[in-house]
Structure 1
């Protein structure tokens, strides 16, 4: 196999790999959001910068009283 044929094969494989990644990313939308649950992060299709601006506007000013936070406990690690 000549050098030109190897480059053509490599290019074809990269195109197939790229197409596979794009198709897989479009097909897997993730699990559906259950009703009555909270979802953190940007809405589907919302740019991250838009989410960060919206999140900053929704936060209370510093020092304005008690602030609640979501906490997800993790199991304790055993020391050896």
Structure 2
């Protein structure tokens, strides 16, 4: 399970474990997330979009700035992993 928070973190959880499996700091508050396969897409305040590889959360795969005028409130990852 994956959760995002306004405390600038994304946390991975294993329901079988008593605590979270990992905490990953984001550049700003997390507003939206989507998962497709092994990719996690995170939309934060400040119009930032980050793409993470769930197999290796040691670094961000891609950093982008949204072309929208205001912060991103909804992100959708397509199952074919093309967009």
Which TM-score band (shorter chain)? under 0.3
Normalised by the size of structure 1, how large is the TM-score?
Answer: 0.18
Normalised by the size of structure 2, how large is the TM-score?
Answer: 0.17
Q: Decide which structure has the larger Cα Rg and report it.
A: 1
Of structures 1 and 2, the one with the larger relative CO (CA 8 A, separation 6+) is 2
Between structures 1 and 2, the one with greater helix share = 1
Between structures 1 and 2, the one with greater strand share = 2
